[in-house]
Amino acid sequence: MSTAMSLLGYYHWFHREWMRAGLVVSIFLLVYLTVLVAPNNLVLYSMLLCAPLYMLHETEEYLFPGGFVEFANRDLYKQNPETGMLDESLVYWINMGYIWLPLPLCGLLATQDLRFAAWMPYFFIFQAVVHIVLSVATRRWYNPGLATACLLHIPFALWALYLLKNAGVMDNLYWNPYLLVGFIFILGLPAAGFLGLKRYQKQISKSASMGLGEVPTTSP
């Protein structure tokens, strides 16, 4: 049986299944980096781990147990969980632009200078805080991603910061430019949410003008 696929067909597949691909990639990278990098350079290893560990976090959000899209639409934005603001396309572009591109890139740059990646542990901590705030704001004890954010990302980030400090990358863990960069980076998530909301409102207005009412959102 033929398994040939065009580039466009592969893109459409990846657009739907990126989180499943991410699980495989994360497991491969965890094994690869642990065997080849950890024994020689532990602090670089911690920086390179940021990308696969975040991919594991995405697995909790969108696969096991998943449901972050429905949670955000229903409990955060007070919209239809299936046809609300957050949809497949928006989730894909946020995760590609905010995780899959900058985290691996900064990890690779860290092979030349650790300072390129020193902001990422702070981003992990702020991202865990966001999940905690989401639980408080929505009055739910759990939201998809909370467990890995608190039980995996925070301990890892504290360990990585300890290694960075010992490597002389920073003198003060509580006041340095990397903390500021991590904080600014996390602010991009609500900014992306605002743009998504404007996009959703535009779609609803267009549907209303055509007399269709609310319709399921589709990829642009």
pLDDT in tens, 129-150: 999 999 999 999 999 999 999 9
What is the separation, in whole angstroms, between the first and last Cα of the chain? 33
pLDDT band at residue 28 under the 50/70/90 scheme: very high
- pTM equals 0.89
Tell me if 173 is assigned to some domain: yes
Query: 160-208, pLDDT tens digit by residue?
Result: 999 999 999 999 999 999 999 999 999 988 777 777 777 777 777 776 6
Q: Give 8-51 as a DSSP string.
A: HHHHHHHHHHHHHHHHHHHHHHHHHHHHHTTTT-HHHHHHHTHH
Q: How confident is the model at residue 218 (pLDDT cuts 50, 70, 90)?
A: very low
| Cα separation, 121 vs 67, whole angstroms | 25
pLDDT digits (tens, 9 = 90+) for 86-133: 888 889 999 999 999 999 999 999 999 999 999 999 999 999 999 999
On whether residue 65 sits in a domain, the answer given is: yes
pLDDT at residue 217, rounded to an integer: 45
Average of per-residue pLDDT values in the chain = 90
Tell me if residue 177 falls in helix, strand or coil.
helix
Is there a domain that residue 22 lies in?
yes
- Could you tell me if residue 220 is inside a domain? no
Q: What is the pLDDT of residues 32-90, one digit of tens each?
A: 999 999 999 999 999 999 999 999 999 999 999 999 999 999 998 888 888 888 888 88
Report the distance separating Cα 126 and Cα 35, nearest Å.
Answer: 29
Q: Is residue 157 part of a domain?
A: yes
Q: Please, which residues have CB within 8 angstroms of residue 219's CB and are 6 or more apart in sequence?
A: 15, 87, 88, 89
The answer to whether position 218 is within a domain reads no
The domain containing residue 56 runs over which residues?
7-209
Q: Rounded to the nearest 5°, which phi and psi values hold at 71?
A: -60, -50
Confidence of residue 211 (pLDDT cuts 50, 70, 90): low
Euclidean distance between CA atoms 190 and 92, whole angstroms: 16
Dihedral angle computed from the Cα positions of residues 101, 106, 107 and 110, in that order, rounded to the nearest 10 degrees? 160
> In angstroms, how far is CA 79 from the centroid of its own chain?
22
Residue 161 in domain: yes
Q: Please give the pLDDT value at position 213.
A: 53
**Interval 22-37 mean pLDDT:** 97
Specify if 190 maps to a domain.
yes
Counted domains in the chain: 1
